Chain A
Amino acid sequence: MNSLYILVVWAIVWIFGYYVYARWVDRKVYKADPKRTTPAKMYMDGVDFMPAPKTVLFGFQLNSIAGAAPIIGPIVALQWGWLPALLWLAFGVFFIGWLHDYSSAMVSMRNDGDTFGAISYKLISPRARGILLTFIYFYLLLIAAAFGHVITKGLVGNPSLPFPMLVVVGVALLVGQLIYKTKVDILWTTIIAIILIFAGIWAGNYIHIKTSYTVMLIAVLIFGYVSAILPVWRFIQPYNYSSVYVVYFGIIAGVIGIIIGHKPLTLPAFTGWSIKIGPLWPMLFVTIACGCISGWHSLVSSTATSRQLANELDARPVAGGAMFAEFTIATIALIVCAVSFSGKAEYLQALKNPVGIFTLGLGNAITTLGFPASFAKSVSGAMILILALTIVNLVFRFMKVATVELLGDKIGIAKNAHVATIVALIFAFVLVKTGTWLYIWVLFGGANQLMAGLALLLVTLWLLSKGKNYKIAMIPMFFMYATTIAALIYISQKLLRLLFTGKVTGTKIIGNIIGWGAGILLVIIALILAYDGYIAFKKYKAMKAEEVSEE
C-alpha cells in the first residue's frame, strides 16, 4: 500500500476529530463561553497568570508536549504491524487524546487555574494529592531511564552523532551567554546558532566519536546533571531555543519528502496478536503513548497553559490542536519507518536502536528533496536526540526539585541541590544499566497512560459535579485504566517469571526486580486512586440525585 493513504487517514482524523467532535464537545458539553473571565485575566499577575495569543500558546503547548516519545512509540509498535499502530493512533487521538489535553486545560481553567494536584485534593481526597506526587516521581524516573537508553544507544550506534550533539550543547551555552550577558540581538544570536548547529551536523560526518555504552551513558547523565544544576537561563532555555530550528527543519523536510517520495509500505500490515513484548491488548496501547494519548500533557495543560488562555474558546485550538499536531509527528514517524525496510526481519534487527531506525527513515525522506544522504541522516539523528535530551533535562531538574521538596525537611542533606540531582542520576543509571529497555519503555508507557487515566478520572468527576455529560470522559477513563493496569500486571508477572525461571542473570536481575517493583507500585497507586475516585463518584452522584429530587 502506498504511504500516501496513511496521510489520507491522518487528514480524516484531523478534520472530523478537530472540526466535528472537538467542536461539539467544546460547544455542547463544556459550553465554552468567550464572555467568561479566564484565570489568566482574573488573576493576571504578569507572570504565572497572563493572557497570551492562541497562536503563541499553540506553539508553546506543542513544544512542551512533543518530545521523542511520539516518534519512538510508533517505531516500537510496528512490531505488531503498521495497521494496529495506525488504528490506535487514529482512534486514540480522536476519542481520547485531544479530549484529555483539552479537558485538562478546561477543568483547570474552571477551577481558578489550579493544578491537578490541587484539583485531586478537592475532588477526590486529601491523600490523592500526595499519592499523585509520589507517582509522578517514579514516572519521571522511568522516563529518565527510557530516554537515557535511547539517547545512549543512538550515540553509540551512530558515531557521526556525538560531535553534532556536543556542538548543540556548546551552542546552547553560547546562546545563553550572548542573550543574557553580552546582550547581543536575538536575531544575530539565532543566525549564529543555526549556522553553528548545521555546520556541526555536517562536520559530524567527518569527525566520528566512538566509545563504549557505559561511557556514553555517563556522558548523557552528565548532561542531565549540568541541566539540573545550572540556572535555567544559562543552559536549558537556550538549549531548547537553539535546537527548535533543527526540529522545524526535520519535520517540514520530512513531510515534503513523504509526499514527494510517496513510497509503498514495506513492513507487514499485521504480524500477529501476540509478539515478544506481549499480546496486542493491552501492550500496544501502552507502547504508543505520546502522539496518541499521554498523561504528561495533562501536567502541561493544567500547570501552564490553563493560566495563559485569554478566552475559553482558545482551549480547543491550543490544547486540542497541539495534540492533533503531535499526532502528525507520530504519523510521520510511522510512515518513514514503515517504508524504510525490506522486511520484518531487517526491521527487528534494527529495533535495538530506535534512533537508528528513525535516522534511516527520516533521512531517506529528506534525501528525496535532494540533500546528501549522509547530511540528511545526521539531521534526522540530531533531531530525535535533541527531542529526547529536551525531556532528559526537564526530568532531572524536576526530580531534583521533588527530592528537595519531599525529603528536604526529613533528611537535611536532601536539601542540597547536587545531592538531590546525583541521587536521581544514580537511580536512572542503575535502571538503564540493569534493566531491559523494551520493558522499561513499556513501563514508562504504562505510567504515562495511567497518568492519563487519572487525569480523565478527575475530568469525569468534575463533569459529574457540574451536571455535564461525564460519559465522554468516563468511557475513555475506564478503557485507559483497564488497559494500563492489565499492561502493568502483565509486564510485572513477566519480569518475575523471567527472574524465577533463571532466564535473566547477572546485573539484569536487579533491573528485573526494580521493573517488577515499579510496575506493582504503579498498580497499587492506581487502585488506591480508583477506590478514592469511586467514593467521590458516588458522593457526587448522590448530590446530583438530591438536587433533582429537591427540584
Chain B
Amino acid sequence: MSEMSEKEKSIFKKAVSFFKDFTYGMATHGMARHALKTRSSMEHLFILITMGDMLGVPILPPYYSMRLLPFVVPQITTWKRRMLRERELMESMY
C-alpha cells in the first residue's frame, strides 16, 4: 500500500514538474531568452570596444586592452563565435 502511494506521489511530482516547466516554456522562456540576448549584446559591444584588435578592429590602445584582458578571457571564445557568425534576417523573429 505504502509502495503504491509512493508511486502515486512520484507521478504527482512528475505531473507538477511537467506543468511548471511547460508553463515556464509557454509564458516566460521567451522573456528570459530576450533578457539574455540584451545583456549579451551589451557585453559583446563592450568586448568589441576593448578587444577589437582580436578581430582586426583596433579601437582602444593595446595597453588598456591588455589591462582588461584577464576580465574578458572567459567570454572570448563565445564572443568571437557570435561576432563572426553569419546572421539571418529570420533570426530577429525569435
Contacts and interface: CB of A to CB of B under 8 A. Distances in A.
Contacts of A59: 21-27, 29
Interface string A517-549: 000000000000000000000000000000000
A405 B93 CA distance: 13
B34 A57 contact: no
A244 interface: yes
Nearest to A118: B88
A402 interface: yes
Interface stretch (A23-31, A40-48, A273-281): A40-48
Interface string B53-94: 000000000000000000000000010011000101111111
Which secondary structure characterizes the binding site on chain A? helix
Given A46-B40, A63-B30, A398 B92 contact: yes
Contacts of B28: 186, 241
A115 B92 contact: no
Contacts of A57: 25, 29
Contacts, number: 111
A117 B82 CA distance: 18
A43 B81 CA distance: 8
A458 B17 CA distance: 37
A400 to B, nearest CB: 10
Nearest to A190: B27
A304 B31 contact: no
A361 to B, nearest CB: 23
Interface in A46-93: 46-48, 50, 52-53, 55-64
A10 B17 CA distance: 26
A314 to B, nearest CB: 12
A357 interface: no
A58 B26 CA distance: 8
Interface residues of A, number: 46
A369 interface: no
Nearest to A304: B94
Contact of B36 (A47, A136, A401): A47
A237 interface: yes
B64 to A, nearest CB: 25
Given A115-B88, A303-B90, A237 B34 contact: yes
Interface in A278-319: 299-300, 302-304
A64 B81 contact: no
Q: Which of B18, B25, B81 has the most CB of A within 10 A?
A: B25
A401 B89 CA distance: 8
A304 to B, nearest CB: 4
B30 A233 contact: no
A115 B21 contact: no
A205 interface: no
A184 interface: no
B40 A47 contact: yes
Contacts of A136: 89-90
Nearest to A61: B25
Interface string A223-246: 000000000110001101100110
A240 B30 contact: yes
A302 B93 CA distance: 11
B35 interface: yes
B38 interface: yes
B37 interface: yes
Q: Select the residue from B29, B38, B90 with max chain A CB neighbours within 10 A.
A: B90
Contacts of A513: none
A237 B40 contact: no
B94 A64 contact: yes
Contacts of B89: 117, 133, 136, 401-402, 405-406
B38 A303 contact: no
Q: Which of A48, A61, A304, A401 has the largest number of chain B CB atoms within 10 A?
A: A48
A351 interface: no
A300 B91 CA distance: 9
A329 to B, nearest CB: 13
Contacts of B31: 233, 237-238, 240-241
Given A53-B21, A59-B22, 5 more contacts: A45-B81, A45-B82, A55-B25, A56-B25, A398-B93
